[in-house]
Homo-oligomer: A and B are copies of this chain.
Amino acid sequence: MTKADKPCLEVCLSPALLHLYDTNDAVVVIIDIFRATSTITAALHNGAKDVIPVASVSECIAIGAATPGSVTGGERDGKVAEGLQHGNSPLEYPRSFIEGKSLVLTTTNGTRLLHMVEGAAEIIIGSFLNLSAICDYLLSQNKNVLLGCASWKDRFNLEDTLFAGAVFSRIQHAFHTNCDAARGAKHLYDSSGGSNFIEFLKDSSHYHRLSKFGLEHDMEYCVTPDLHPVVPKLVGDRIIIV
C-alpha cells in the first residue's frame, strides 16, 4: 500500500478544536482517561449489558429510573453526585456487581465530546485499559481515524494526549499523517518512556486535582494497559461491545 492509499490519522486535543477536523466516515476514538472512558471500558468488559452516557445528573436519574436493571453513576467534584447511586471509578464496577446491568453514566468532558461528533462511521471508546484492542481495531478498519481528547473543560490535558500518542506510536505505519497534534502527542508519549505512565502524570492538572480526593489508586488503575481488552462502540444512544 502506498502512502497515498493509506487512510489519514489525526489528533484533536480539545473539543473546542473539533470543528477543524473532518469526522465524516471516520472512526472517532473518544479519550477521557481520568476517568469516563476507563470506567466505560472496565464496566463493559466486566459484563455490563451496556453503558448509557448522559450529560447531566438529572438526565442520569431520569434515564436510570426508566431503564429496568440499571444503575446510575457519576461524580461531581470527586464525590458521587447527589441522587446517583455510584461514582465514576472503574473499580466500582466489578463483574460481581455490574454483570448484566445497564450503567447510566454521567460525565462532563467525555460525554460532551461524544455527543459533539457528527457523521462518523463509528465512535469508539479508548483508554489505556483497552489500548491494544483499540490499536488492533483501528488497523483492521482501513478508515480515517480521529483520536479525540475529551480534555478538561476544553483545556489540553496530558493524560488524554499521552494516550493519543501511545496509539499513534503503535499504528502510525498504517496511516498517512500530517498533523502536528499527532506528532506532539507522540513526542509526549516518547518523553514518558512508554511505561510507568503514572509517574509521568504525577505532575499534571488532573492528577493534582483528583489526588486531593484520594483517587491515586484509581488513576494508577486507569493508566494500566490492556486490563480490559474490548472495543466499546456507540450504537444509538448506548455503548456496547462490538
- Seen from chain A, the residues whose Cβ lies within 8 Å of a Cβ on chain B are 13-14, 16-17, 20, 152-158, 161, 178-181, 183-184, 187-188, 190-191, 203-206, 208
State how many copies of this chain the complex holds: 2
Task: Tell me whether A158 and B184 are in contact (CB under 8 A).
Answer: yes
Which residue, A13, A180, A204, A205, has most C-beta atoms of chain B within 10 A?
Answer: A180
Those 4 A-B pairs whose CB atoms lie nearest each other, nearest first: A156-B181, A187-B191, A158-B180, A157-B180
Name the B residues within 8 Å of A158 (CB-CB). Answer: 180, 183-184
Known: A14-B17, A17-B155. A184 touches B180 (CB 8 A): no
Main secondary structure of the interface of A (DSSP, over half): helix
Task: Tell me whether B154 and A17 are in contact (CB under 8 A).
Answer: yes
Q: A16-B16, A155-B180, A156-B180 known; 15 other A-B pairs, CB under 8 Å?
A: A13-B156, A17-B17, A17-B154, A17-B155, A20-B153, A20-B154, A157-B180, A158-B180, A180-B205, A180-B206, A183-B203, A184-B184, A187-B188, A188-B188, A191-B191
Name the B residues within 8 Å of A157 (CB-CB). Answer: 180
Closest to A191 in B: B187
Name the B residues within 8 Å of A152 (CB-CB). Answer: 180
Known: A187-B188, A190-B191. A180 touches B153 (CB 8 A): no
Name the B residues within 8 Å of A204 (CB-CB). Answer: 180, 183
Q: How far is the CB of A188 from chain B (nearest CB, A)?
A: 5
Name the B residues within 8 Å of A180 (CB-CB). Answer: 152, 155-158, 204-206
**In the complex, A179→B157 CA distance in Å?**
8
Task: Tell me whether B17 and A178 are in contact (CB under 8 A).
Answer: no
Q: How far is the CB of A187 from chain B (nearest CB, A)?
A: 4
Q: How far is the CB of A51 from chain B (nearest CB, A)?
A: 27
